[in-house]
Structure 1
């Protein structure tokens, strides 16, 4: 039966808190030289997970600013109208940044950028095209740009200008990606002249990179792909819906997809969020599916995050999702819901279309079954793109020839994750380590490194291949310094990589610089016999 409206009303505000806890001198520099004298081995960085067009997500009025505007930067980098005059009404921004709906900020963007973008300001544009260009000049060669949607957030956020239908939002964002490419072309002499190209195959990617350009791969991260929600165990899609949806996405150029994200759906159970955040998302799961998460004590080394149950903490008693949460068994917890028959159909359909299968956000049951299928077929195009799977799966991913990329943590945490992944790599394969910045994904970018005064990034510095000199990033009247500001926007990604070189030496930069090649090898490798 449907979820009672009274319950949905009591939980609407809770879902607004849902992701609050998830937490240009050089622009004029010469273009990087054509890669390695031709379409051979690529040396360059991989961002396996970002969202350049999420300003069109969640109803189109939650994230402020755009990656480009035909009328220029002053129109692209404007705050949301509801954030004026002092940010006091920007309750979602304040939740995300401060854990409270109360707060203020200077809403003016261009040209002063006093309060945004910032590493912890999560509803303001961080991937303006000039900032992405600086990351490319600094050594990035592949960007996986995920179209993103979430119906639940869109439903409860009061301001909207676009549909909450997730697939309608995905189509709109694909159109925006092509418009971005055309806009960049227009600034550099016409069609095909820009520094960014959308690619649909590894062969295209190698050609683009050999021309000294950034290869953009289109991906999809959405909670209900092709309408595949589930309510009280009843799926909202069929195998035919999945086949039509995959055909459409493939024709639009999408080459990487998630099956589930944050909430259980008709394809797979999700990897739980823990703590207070988990309570809120579990409440959202109840609204969206009619059921709370179903957890059991794991009997394997892999497990999902521990989920809280029972009575709500006093400070969250106002949520009251129609009674107390379930009393869960002892941890470690595993979601009882794994990969469904529809989910298996989608995995096999993605394999037939030679697409990347994103394993993050799957429950360990779903992820393990997905890896079983891929191992039976010797299928290498599997990726953990932003640290949301159990690390015990890394050896299986590496043995298949797949990829692992860490979320864009602060420098010290990222270095720790890199060392852990390298320890379990497949020594018979090229090791390249990617990052998943999750830019514009309602999560923080890397914070400034604590206590960095003794060994800061010193400006100017050289790109990893020595082809470009990078000084402090300046846009309008604002100059950013990674030592003080962290990764305030996407243009500071090279500075963050330099910060990791400072604390971990050239080895980490070398492994990061092999990530693009490792990704391309996995993309072009035939299934193992």
Structure 2
């Protein structure tokens, strides 16, 4: 139901209207005949408070005015006007079904109504009690939004109805009084690649012109899906706000002989002018819709990836602490206290010394100079060390500028949950090259590392079952969120799915691996990550990953010119990103390096481990050709034949498939496979990305508006990437995604614990004002001030969304849509499960 609407006063053909088309705060509201201008367009936005909405005027671009009860007065007859957003009770509205019409009740307890029974242009809009007739409104979509509707004839208060609740193919249609049953509910589904829709009855079949006949007077019934023109309908908005439903055959949906009685049959006719061919789409107000935001991309167990020596700190007492990361512990151990879980990071990140026998200068240099480059608490020595002190003071980390310290401690996840988080995709992640060059411990291979993380995530969620639970199906997700908990979805984001890069797998091998992962609870899959694998090519966007590609496959990326002008990134032919760092580290005195090599004195450069790493990071002469490839660069590899079969198998299993990190060629082919699945295609995910444009070009790691539109038409979902983003930048990115996806709600993709920074705060916030009535996050002796530090840990995502909501220019609308993303995720998953049976074998 959230979306853009004209709000019609039911007692007369008049609409909620901003007087005089005046955008100023305080302008009163009236009813007026429909003119279709922006002063009659309203955007309904889910509020963070369950059951309430903000209603924003669309009167001017960039003008942020909301439906508001003047002075927050509860007295009957109080004028209603537009006002700057403040999020108070005077701007919160419940939208309730009242025997076929809607009533709008403010949080103050009064109702939106007209001032008198005159029903003429210019009558003022005020608040009052629920007075019959004067509080009845309807919503008419400005733009058709995929969803479920009642379809009302323009002739009378009758609705499109499947005869006698029939579900058999060929059951005729009629008009009937509104009863609200499944035979009167219709799902509008975009046709992939076309400006038309399938219209599916909740009885299970589709609106269809009998025999595909173009002759006027042909009966319309429900029929099994076939995707033909007899089942494709254009939705044409008429000047009076109604719509005409035009079959792809050229005829219109019509009430036979313009009769208005119950039981009148429905057929086709020529032209849209007659009232019998006018219909209203009434969005179904569902009290069962989920409320809360969805994060499509997190890594709570990443401390167990990358050789278990990259991310420091574990997410709770009971989590596995890797060997050599807590006072040089000789073996993996379970955290028994928060001091052990979040203690100092010297063992993990520091250099070798007599006080730190498990330290590693090479690892410290690679982490500090290659990955954690922006951390503000560095000490400035040659290996780039940083301050290590941990709990209870936590003076240095977690921090918004550091990506190698734990940011998902369990109570920080709980704080995000308290701020509305209701769906969280938890992904196992790994990179074998990083695990090798930082001298990590087993398991370093993707399959075993992912297995360990999945097992530990299941145990972690079990320890916090008071507020979270793993969802293994869309029905699970609905139950969990409806019960007031956080639904966690398990997924894998690894380079070498099934370790297949070292073998020659068959489809049966891939199918067995997918079944194995499914049996472990995995429902969300990245077929491709940052390196090419047996399924297809990866997106090229960072030179560092070319070393990983060579390490995993034996060769650097194969590059081609981009056909899309918004792809401007060029890969380097000789970017040895670690050379100056390793040159410096090689001279650090290191007594254990006294080996067989000739050295004037023991230094790291004499250590055989250093020499092996140095060899791994040498530039490859095969990349010299990159300089001769014109334009922006993309990976020349798309999906392999095995990859195409694997993607189809994932669809047949009803898995959620994420396109992020695919090369553009792999991505487009995956979309083509999804579009071929009937009816309406298979939904796909893009969990942590953004839209590139001519003004803000990028690499194939982001997506074009055209690709996003195709995913939107499939019923897919995007998580807007929020790495190191400001609230103003996030609003811009979110709105761009919302528009490109055809008005589909997006979630967020934080990439928390995934080597990406969490969002920044708006500069120069007043902490006293920001935290008035809003508590700060505290752990041990540490209290975080988001206004000064930004999103230092995952719990401060609540603060970030508060910052976004308070931004002028649509911040509240973005947060309102974000709080609909738990429902959007559930619907996308349900669609995947429904389409699974139609996927290719």
Q: 1:251 to 1:77 in 2, by over 3 A?
A: same
- 1:385 maps onto 2:659 in alignment: no
| 1:69 matches 2:317 | yes
Q: Distance in 1 between matches of 2:426 and 2:461?
A: 12
Q: 8 Å contact 2:805–2:814 — kept in the other structure? A: yes
Other-structure match for 1:121:
402
User: Structure 2 residue aligned with 1:266, among 534, 555, 569?
Assistant: 534
Any gaps of 5 or more consecutive residues in structure 2?
Answer: 1-47, 53-285, 319-335, 375-379, 584-616, 690-700
Instruction: Provide the residue aligned with 1:413 in structure 2.
Output: 729
Pick the structure with more helix per residue: 1
* Matched residue, 1:524: 830
- Which of residues 462, 466, 484 is equivalent to 1:182? 462
Does 2:838 align with 1:513? Answer: no
- Separation (CA, whole Å) in 1 of partners of 2:577 and 2:742: 48
Please report the TM-score for the alignment, with normalisation by the length of structure 2: 0.53
Q: Which has the larger share of strand?
A: 2
* 156 and 209 in structure 1: CA distance in 2 versus 1, 3 angstrom threshold: same
The correspondence for 1:488, drawn from 780, 783, 792, is 792
Q: Which residue of 2 aligns with 1:78?
A: 343
**For residues 347 and 298 of structure 1, do their structure 2 counterparts lie closer, same or farther at Cα, with a shift above 3 Å needed?**
same
1:474-524 alpha-carbon deviations (Å, 9 max, x no partner): 111111111111110011011001111122431011110011111111111
- Cα drift, residue 455 of structure 1: 9.4
Q: 2:342–2:391: 8 Å Cα contact kept in structure 1?
A: yes
Cα distance in structure 1, aligned partners of 2:51 and 2:519: 29
Residue matched to 1:295: 559
Return 85-94 or 164-173, whichever deviates more. Answer: 85-94
TM-score, normalised via structure 1 length: 0.82
Partner of 1:426: 742
The 5-angstrom pairing of residues 77-476 of structure 1 reads 77-80=342-345, 81-83=347-349, 89=361, 90-95=364-369, 96-98=371-373, 102-160=383-441, 162-185=442-465, 194-229=466-501, 236-273=504-541, 278-300=542-564, 303=567, 306-312=569-575, 319-323=617-621, 325-328=623-626, 329-377=629-677, 378-387=680-689, 388-392=701-705, 393-409=707-723, 410=725, 411-427=727-743, 431-449=744-762, 451-453=763-765, 458-460=770-772, 470-476=774-780
CA displacement at 1:345 relative to structure 2: 1.4
Q: Distance in 2 between matches of 1:284 and 1:314?
A: 13
Shift of 1:389: 3.3
Deviation readout 1:110-147 (Å, 9 max, x if unpaired): 11011100112111110000000000011010000001
Larger Rg: 2
Confirm or deny: 8 A CA contact 2:292 2:821 kept in the other structure.
Answer: yes
Q: 1:39·1:206 contact (CA, 8 Å) conserved in 2?
A: no
The structure-2 alpha-carbon separation of the partners of 1:367 and 1:78, relative to structure 1 and needing over 3 Å to count, comes to same
Unaligned runs of 5+ in 1: 1-31, 186-193, 462-469
Aligned CA distance change for structure 1 residues 455 and 396 (closer, same or farther; 3 Å): farther
How many residues align? The count is 467
Distance in 1 separating the partners of 2:290 and 2:620: 55
Change (3 A) 1:479 1:157: same
- Change over 3 Å in CA distance of 1:297–1:103 after alignment to 2: closer
Contact kept in structure 2, 1:457 and 1:499, CA below 8 Å: no
Which is further off, 90-99 or 70-79? 90-99
RMSD over equivalenced CA pairs, Å: 2.7
Counterpart contact for 1:292–1:326, Cα < 8 Å = no
Query: 2-side partners of 1:512 and 1:253: how far apart?
Result: 26
Contact residue 118 and residue 488 of structure 1 kept, 8 A: yes
Q: Quick one: structure 1 residues 381 and 254, their matched pair in 2 at CA, closer, same or farther if it must change by over 3 Å?
A: farther
Inter-CA distance 127–334: structure 2 relative to 1 (3 Å threshold): same
Distance in 2 (alpha carbons) for counterparts of 1:133 and 1:501: 21
Q: Which runs of 4+ in 1 moved over 4 A?
A: 32-36, 84-89, 300-303, 311-319, 454-457
- Cα shift at 1:69: 1.7
Using the alignment, how far apart are the partners of 2:498 and 2:741 within structure 1? 35
Q: Kindly state the Cα deviation for residue 439 of structure 1 after the two structures are TM-superposed.
A: 0.9
SS in 1 for 2:817: helix
Deviation at 1:82, TM superposition (A): 3.8
Q: Which has the higher contact order (CA 8 A, sep 6+)?
A: 1
